[in-house]
Amino acid sequence: MRKMLVTGGAGFIGSEFVRQAALEKSNKIIVIDKLSYAGDLERLAELKDKYTFYNSDIRDKKNISRIFSKEKPDIIVHFAAETHVDRSILDGTIFIESNIKGTQILMDAARAIGTPRFIHISTDEVYGEIRKGKFLEESPFRPNSPYAVSKAGADLLVQSYIRTYNFPAIIIRASNNYGPWQYPEKFIPVIIAKIMNGEKIPVYGKGLQCREWLYVSDCAEAVRFVTENGKIGESYNIGSGIEKTNIAVAKKTLNALGKNNSHIEFVQDRPGHDFRYALNIKKIKELGWSPKIDFTEGITKTVQWYKDNSPWLMSKMNSIKKYWKKVYKKI
């Protein structure tokens, strides 16, 4: 049995990865999560005794070293990060500290015990925006938000460890995720939560910003695939090939909720808003992975999950309302 340590395993994407990885009897799962506002062990409730949990901030060097020395994981999959662009615009400090310093502390602890494989989860936002074409793994970094800069810094730090220390890392850059269990600060769960609360749907600017939308189970499956089959020292883009503008996503989600477009309210655009992201995923496809869930199926599943789990969504509403007021400003 091999030990797989997952940072941020109580988060949105990390928990989906843990749920999938726990299905394999050969894996012993260890989860590290500081349980911030966006972390929730309820996401792992179905696993019961199938994982070992440590409540720790990845910036806590002493504690991380203690956990790594005790567990001696064979594989580290690093999801833990501050992830929301809007929050990074309000205050980017925690993003720099967690995403860059935290990643360094994890890599140093992994080096100290000789962990043979470290999977770093990055983002398409490190590339910046692209008007035409798609980003390759070799495309230059041009991050445009404090969040994106923090992830680009972590990404470059991992690359430097690969080069300097022969560190056994693989980097994954994923496109926009959506699906069950996503905290209602991200666009699709915001739409669902607002409708359930009898409020208007906030759409930035004219809603023409375009993203590549990847269903969370596809993302987690791709990470698992790269963990098993990826080459040390390489980077892999993970995307769906499904591009949608924000206004199209809003309308599609409203339709799945049985609502019309009169619920849309355009709000002041956020500063430095990237217009479009798109990833070339030829490299991972040639390795043997392709996405499975199309957007219609994904939205249908997502809306149904939130309907079935409305108590969980509503439990997050009170803590998010003040944040919504700070971010969504009427035009």
pLDDT the model gives residue 147:
97
Phi, psi of 37 (to 5 degrees): -55, -30
Please state which CATH number belongs to domain 184-211+241-272+294-327: 3.90.25.10
- pLDDT of residue 239 exceeding 90, the answer is yes
Beta strand pairing call for 117-123 and 176-178: unpaired
pLDDT the model gives residue 324:
78
Single-letter amino acid, residue 57:
D
pLDDT the model gives residue 183:
96
Q: Work out the average pLDDT over 106-117.
A: 98
Name the band, by pLDDT with cuts 50, 70 and 90, for residue 329: confident
pLDDT the model gives residue 125:
97
Per-position b or e across 162-171, b if 16+ CB within 10 A of its CB: beeeebbbbb
Beta strand pairing call for 117-123 and 27-33: unpaired
Instruction: Tell me the C-alpha distance between 54 and 94, whole Å.
Output: 21
Closest CA to 223 of 1, 7, 25, 67: 7
pLDDT the model gives residue 184:
94
Name the band, by pLDDT with cuts 50, 70 and 90, for residue 319: confident
Q: Work out the average pLDDT over 288-314.
A: 97
Q: Work out the average pLDDT over 11-24.
A: 97
Query: Are domains 2-177+213-238 and 184-211+241-272+294-327 of this chain identical in fold?
Result: no
Q: Considering the chain, what percentage of its residues have pLDDT values greater than 90?
A: 94
Instruction: Tell me the C-alpha distance between 118 and 103, whole Å.
Output: 11
Q: Which CATH superfamily is domain 2-177+213-238 in?
A: NAD(P)-binding Rossmann-like Domain (3.40.50.720)
57 among known catalytic residues: no
Quote the DSSP letter at residue 124.
G
Instruction: Tell me the C-alpha distance between 279 and 277, whole Å.
Output: 7
Instruction: Tell me the C-alpha distance between 80 and 50, whole Å.
Output: 20
The answer to whether 253 and 188 have CB atoms below 8 angstroms apart is yes
Helices then strands, each counted (H, E), the chain: 12, 12
- pLDDT of residue 285 exceeding 70, the answer is yes
Digit-coded pLDDT (tens) for 149-158: 999 999 999 9
Q: Which of 51, 54, 147, 204 is catalytic?
A: 147
pLDDT the model gives residue 48:
84
pLDDT the model gives residue 235:
98
Residue 200 neighbours by CB under 8 Å, 6+ apart:
194, 263, 264, 265
Please state the domain extents for the chain. 2-177+213-238, 184-211+241-272+294-327
Q: Work out the average pLDDT over 2-14.
A: 98
- 17-21: which pairs have CB atoms within 8 A and are 24 or more residues apart? 17/77, 17/79, 17/220, 17/223, 17/224, 18/44, 18/47, 18/51, 19/43, 19/44, 19/46, 19/47, 19/220, 20/217, 20/220, 20/221, 20/224, 21/224
- pLDDT of residue 286 exceeding 70, the answer is yes
Name the band, by pLDDT with cuts 50, 70 and 90, for residue 81: very high
Name the band, by pLDDT with cuts 50, 70 and 90, for residue 287: very high
Phi, psi of 235 (to 5 degrees): -120, 145
Q: Which of 40, 82, 125, 185 is catalytic?
A: 125
125 among known catalytic residues: yes
Q: Which of 124, 185, 212, 218 is catalytic?
A: 124
pLDDT the model gives residue 331:
52
pLDDT the model gives residue 330:
62
277 among known catalytic residues: no
pLDDT the model gives residue 322:
79
- 316 to 194, 220, 253, 311: CA distances (angstroms): 12, 24, 20, 9
- pLDDT of residue 130 exceeding 70, the answer is yes
For residue 200, with 0-12 CB atoms within 10 Å meaning exposed, 13-18 middle and 19 or more buried, which class applies? middle
- pLDDT of residue 55 exceeding 70, the answer is yes
